[in-house]
Chains A and B, each alone.
Chain A
Amino acid sequence: MYWGHSMNERERLLEAMKINKTDRPPCICPGGMMNMIVRELVEDKELTWPDAHIDGEKMAKLAIKSHRFGSFENYGVPFCMTVEAEAMGAEVSLGTIDTEPRVTEYCILKSEEYKNLKSINLNKGRAKAVLDAITYLKKQGGDIPIIGNLVGPISLASSLVDPMVFYKEMRKKPDEVHKLLDFVTEESLKFGIEQLKSGADIITIADPSGTGEILGEKQFATFVVPYLNKLIEGLENYKPKSVIVHICGRLKSVYKPLNDLKSGVISFDAITSVLQVKEFVKNKAIMGNVSTYTLEYGDSEKVEQISRKCVEQGVHILAPACGLGMGTPLNNIKAMKRGVL
């Protein structure tokens, strides 16, 4: 509860997530799909990509560096959305100093082969690196909120089986799709809870392949909402009010099912207007939606102006609308933060 004192970064974010009064809105970048690392931070090659995707301590240190020089008011790890898919068997290219890791080979041909998928091993590989990073960040102490990340069920499933096959199976073999989604949701939940146990304050779930634009209202309600809710309930059962859900693309076809989402916070793309979300989505904290294109290519005045506008329109949490481009100047991130000051 806000009593008029100036809040620390963790208090401010956690209260904003509950739509409680805060001294001002927080300005964050959660990590995962909404990556918080830019080229200026890795240029000196001391802490760099792809190293920091593999080594937990480097991942943590890079997140700390981003907090220190960037001015987002949180730590966010990992910096990509391939950790779960790789742990379950997909082939991943870790990218370079300025391209993100990405899935290069799917590991099953159709949804019904979900039985051939591996369970996420939390004691090895990059899943362990993420947990190590969170543990390291937690050990630093302090008042900076730590955000862990999960890839949403549709995006994870379609990193394991070719999306062209997966989307068609939604209509042709819905039962098999549900079984695959059940499996990946269980696996994600296990990984998410472990992130909370390691010290994450918040988990952000982003599901860019499971949007209303791609699926339409009916399929969004059938294949997206129930699995996101399963994740949210599982995570919040362990730690109440700890989940942010990010939905990409235009939301207009899915405002109705969005209200059935059990997360207290919803984050969205720059293409969707804050005012419209506020009108159609009730009882949720609204997070967004500074254009990452403007952040990367615009000047700092413009960035500050659109950030201020987001706040005026009533976002509870100011954040980029998508993942930051690597070329985003740190100066523009600072300009974004001026929007909440």
Chain B
Amino acid sequence: MKKTKEMLLNELKNCVVEMEDEAITCVAKEYIDCGYDAFDGVQDGLCKGMERAGELFEEEEYYIPELLICSDAMYEGIEVLKEHIVEDESNKKLRAIVGVVEGDTHDIGKNIYKIMLESNGFEVIDLGRDVSCEKFIETAKSEKVHLIGMSTLMTTTMKNMKEVIDTLGAEGIRDEIVVMVGGGPISRSFAETIGADGYERDAALAAKLAKDLVKAKCGNRIVLGA
């Protein structure tokens, strides 16, 4: 008997939550074979699962190893579904760049943030680790991004975040871009002091906040598909 769309969406979600990064491929194929909409599969199945995994992380039920395997499962699912997604203006994505600031090569937090941004509908360019101020600015301009996310794990490199924010101001594009900062030593008050738009301690919550901030700040540009 053919499973309903809801049943399969639920299975996709559960595969992500339960870290079934192999079984998920079969479920995703079955979903497509049944003729259900691939975009819904990503949005209402895989991303819902990742959202739940993020909640379990906030609740300290899951930790980094679990969250990473959940995200692998999500990406395996996306791999199957993506070629069936019909490009549609309403799927227009929010664009973000993420990176670890110059002088720091710890990147777990940044990777988790990236994963959560993607499951919140962002198209993310990952600049990797040890990213210079110029690189952030250059890419923000050329890719017309809505969001810059910077992270660090070392107090020694925190000042580089301010440099990026100040340079965005000097270039006259600070008002068009949401800037978020995060990482072990960063506090909300530090984020405010250097003039960032947002901060959350937890990467999963930070990604939700990112979506709200970008919608509030860049709403017009997104509708126009700029």
Which of A9-17, A167-175, A187-195, A233-241 has 4 or more CB atoms under 8 Å from chain B?
Answer: A167-175
Which of B31-39, B86-94, B152-160, B164-172 has 4 or more CB atoms under 8 Å from chain A?
Answer: B152-160
Tell me if B108 is interfacial: C-beta within 8 Å of chain A.
yes
Tell me if A296 is interfacial: C-beta within 8 Å of chain B.
yes
CB pair A323 B66 closer than 8 Å: no
Residues of B near A253 (CB, < 8 A) are 60
Tell me if B105 is interfacial: C-beta within 8 Å of chain A.
yes
CB pair A171 B69 closer than 8 Å: yes
CB pair B63 A163 closer than 8 Å: no
Question: Given that A172-B69, A219-B63 are contacting pairs, would A322 and B155 also be in contact in the complex, using a CB cutoff of 8 Å?
Answer: yes
- CA of A326 to CA of B62, assembled, Å: 35
Q: Mark A195-224, 1 if CB is under 8 A from B, else 0.
A: 000000000000010000111100100000
Q: Chain A nearest CB: distance from B110 CB in Å?
A: 11
Question: Given that A216-B63, A219-B63, A248-B184 are contacting pairs, would A103 and B68 also be in contact in the complex, using a CB cutoff of 8 Å?
Answer: no
Residues of A near B63 (CB, < 8 A) are 213-216, 219
The answer, among B105, B155, B190, for a CB contact under 8 Å with A102, is: B105
User: Interface size for chain A: under 10, 10 to 19, 20 to 34, or 35 or more residues?
Assistant: 20 to 34
- CA of A253 to CA of B60, assembled, Å: 8
- CA of A172 to CA of B69, assembled, Å: 9
Which residues in window 272-297 of A have CB below 8 A to B? 292-293, 296
CB pair A325 B72 closer than 8 Å: no
Tell me if A313 is interfacial: C-beta within 8 Å of chain B.
no
Which single residue of chain A is at the shortest CB-CB distance from B104?
A102
- CA of A257 to CA of B154, assembled, Å: 26
- CA of A102 to CA of B104, assembled, Å: 8
- CA of A172 to CA of B63, assembled, Å: 14
For this complex, 13 residue pairs linking A to B, each with C-beta atoms less than 8 Å apart, are A99-B103, A103-B105, A163-B107, A167-B65, A170-B65, A171-B65, A171-B66, A172-B69, A214-B63, A292-B185, A293-B190, A296-B155, A323-B156
The 5 closest A-B CB pairs, nearest first, are A216-B63, A325-B156, A167-B65, A102-B105, A214-B64
- Since A293-B185, A322-B185 are in contact, a sample of 8 more A-B pairs with Cβ atoms closer than 8 Å, ordered by chain A residue number, is A100-B156, A171-B65, A208-B153, A215-B65, A271-B184, A296-B155, A325-B155, A327-B156
